[in-house]
Structure 1
Amino acid sequence: MSHPGKARALLATLRIANAPSVVSNVFLGYMLGSGLLRLRPDIHGLDFEAPVLIATAGLLLYFSGNLANDWFDRKWDEERRPERALPSGLFKPGSYLAGALSCAAAGTALAFFQGAACGICALGILAFISIYTRFHKVAIWSVLPMGLCRAGLYFLGATAFWSKAEAIGDAGYDPAKFLAGALLTLAIPASGLLSYIAGLSLSARYEGMSDAPPGPRVVSKAMLIIPLIAMSCLFVADAGSPWIRVLGMAPFAVWLALCFTHFAKPIPRYVSALLAGIPLVDLIAMAPLAWWAGKPWLAALPFGAFVLGRALQKLAPAT
């Protein structure tokens, strides 16, 4: 029987509280993939097998990155975070490395099973994970590959839908031309998520400081606000009633205001609140997209991921 301390330490390593947001990111990507083809899921049928498989792949890639991160940082953690699993001796470093490689291989295999484009996205995410893991302790620009890891989940989800070659043809598109334009269009909401994650990561760099410098905090706040524009601009002409867009933006705006005020200090509390808010970034786009698709209840998924993620932070820390 495993020691309860080891179980909690492993959940903390995996950042289990952030797992619901990974699922939310991938599912929004899948829905965006449908929306960019102008297909209504209520007419063409919403396939849940594909998003479940690709969300599992996304989770495995995410867990791989967290295991690799803690394995790479074990010496640094010995001095500054001795309570973590590896410095405290709860696990051997080799087990984390083996776990990271296994999760990476399994996640990539699942992605390729869904389609070549999905597999390429998975490899791209792993590349950004490697860059972040190598440089995040020494270079402030490493917040960008961290953001690209998350933004890549939108592409992972979208390509899972596009892997159905007949869907592109049935919609009357030439596959090559469609993919070129769709990837550029998808980059708009992806930039919103990238900005939020980079701003969040910029704040997290100063998590251990009692008095963080003001400059990076100001920049990070500006980056955290960008999703309000980037995530909603695709639906200005197509979403129908303006109140749907407002409904999607409101929870994120309210939560971000609470992060800037009620949860602002100490920084670990602030960062945890921002991490919980990742699915609310998705909700900005999901609300009008779900309404347009004729299934408004789909907007409950990112909100549910927010609630579950916040609850899981009581089980294990999110950072």
Structure 2
Amino acid sequence: MTPFGDYLELVRAPAVLTVLGDTMAGGAAAGRVLSGRRLWMPLASACLYAGGMALNDYADRDVDARERPQRPLPSGRVSAGSALAAASALTVAGLGLCAVAGGRRALAVGVPLAGSIWTYDLIAKNHTLIGAVSMGSCRALDVLMGAGAGQMRPALGAAGIMGGHTVAVTLLSRGEVEGTDTVTASGVAATTGLVAAAVVAGSSGPPARMLAVLAATAAYAARCGPAQIRAARSPAAANALAATRAGIRAMIPLQAALAVRYGHPTAAGALVAVDVLGKILRSRPKARKVSES
């Protein structure tokens, strides 16, 4: 793998696609169309997310040396200093794009989001429940960044839905190496059902919109539910890992469902295209080496 490919692996490039729709959903909830300068907002999220992934590997370099020696840092393909520099540069870039896209209102949410990401990676994630809630808060703040300070109230529902899903996926991810347990995996599967119900319950509008919401919500549940149920039946590490990856990928149809729910089918269509792109990239032999989790 080339040095550039090593950095793509460091930031878990395929997973970056799953964050693009957060600000779309938040903006849709607040009635803000994704156009003009606001087109930079998803890229701001992508930079902040990628920075968080690089910082994650920097913070976990000793643990990864034992559990994931193939990762860029323990394998020596990327140095710890370079990972920290990448995390810092991507965070600064994300905040810069946030300022360009949404001005002070977006930056008023973007700065706490960046702080939350660094707090999670360096401190909070070492505590199972606190870490999961912290990660969920990061995702919720990313949604709210799309709405901007002063217009966050309409987006609180979308932020709670994305945050709740993220908490569940994060709890399940704790079992990627040594396995999870039936209670955790069952709880995560139940959360998927609750999240799907919350999306549909908060929807209204003409029949065409309702059908689109139902279709996107069904796609979300179908994307991650079966893998979570398998993990509940057999909580081995391989099943926990598969369910975690499915949960990460399911964020895109969930974001699309929220975009349609708030009357923004164009944003939902863009997310469908992102989802297709992700599938294409994952099908490429070289891309299979770049883990999402």
TM over 0.5: yes
* Greater Cα offset, 110-119 or 95-104: 110-119
Q: Distance in 1 between matches of 2:61 and 2:228?
A: 32
Structure 1 length-normalised TM: 0.79
Name which one, 1 or 2, has greater alpha-carbon Rg: 1
> Given the alignment of the two structures, is residue 273 of structure 1 paired with residue 262 of structure 2, yes or no?
no
Determine the structure 2 residue equivalent to 1:20.
17
57 and 245 in structure 1: CA distance in 2 versus 1, 3 angstrom threshold: closer
Q: How far did residue 23 of structure 1 move?
A: 1.2
Deviation track 1:2-41 (CA, whole Å, cap 9, x = no partner) reads xx25333321211111122211222222222216xxxxxx
Determine the structure 2 residue equivalent to 1:110.
97
Q: Distance in 2 between matches of 1:54 and 1:286?
A: 15
Determine the structure 2 residue equivalent to 1:195.
164
Residue pair 1:21, 1:302 contacting (<8 A) in 2 also: no
Runs of 4+ in structure 1 displaced over 3 angstroms?
5-8, 260-265, 310-314
Deviation track 1:207-253 (CA, whole Å, cap 9, x = no partner) reads 001x42222222222223332133344433xx222434323322123
Q: Distance in 2 between matches of 1:200 and 1:130?
A: 19
Determine the structure 1 residue equivalent to 2:276.
307
SS in 1 for 2:275: helix
Determine the structure 2 residue equivalent to 1:63.
50
Q: Distance in 1 between matches of 2:79 and 2:38?
A: 34
Percent sequence identity is: 19
Of 84, 90, 111, the residue aligned with 1:123 is 111
Determine the structure 2 residue equivalent to 1:248.
216
SS in 1 for 2:126: coil
* Greater Cα offset, 19-28 or 76-85: 19-28
Summarize the alignment of residues 207-246 of structure 1 with structure 2, pairs less than 5 Å apart.
207-209=176-178, 211-236=179-204, 239-241=205-207, 242-246=210-214
SS in 1 for 2:152: helix
Q: Which has the higher contact order (CA 8 A, sep 6+)?
A: 1
**Aligned residue identity for 2:188:** S
Q: Distance in 1 between matches of 2:165 and 2:55?
A: 23
Determine the structure 2 residue equivalent to 1:176.
none
Q: Distance in 2 between matches of 1:158 and 1:214?
A: 37
Q: Distance in 1 between matches of 2:37 and 2:193?
A: 32
Summarize the alignment of residues 181-192 of structure 1 with structure 2, pairs less than 5 Å apart.
182-192=151-161
Residue pair 2:124, 2:134 contacting (<8 A) in 1 also: no
212 and 184 in structure 1: CA distance in 2 versus 1, 3 angstrom threshold: same
How many pairs are equivalent? 279
Determine the structure 2 residue equivalent to 1:98.
85
Q: Distance in 1 between matches of 2:104 and 2:202?
A: 27
Q: How far did residue 62 of structure 1 move?
A: 0.7
Structure 1: which 5+ residue stretches go unaligned? 36-45, 163-178
SS in 1 for 2:30: helix
**Aligned residue identity for 2:82:** S
Determine the structure 2 residue equivalent to 1:52.
39
Structure 2 length-normalised TM: 0.86
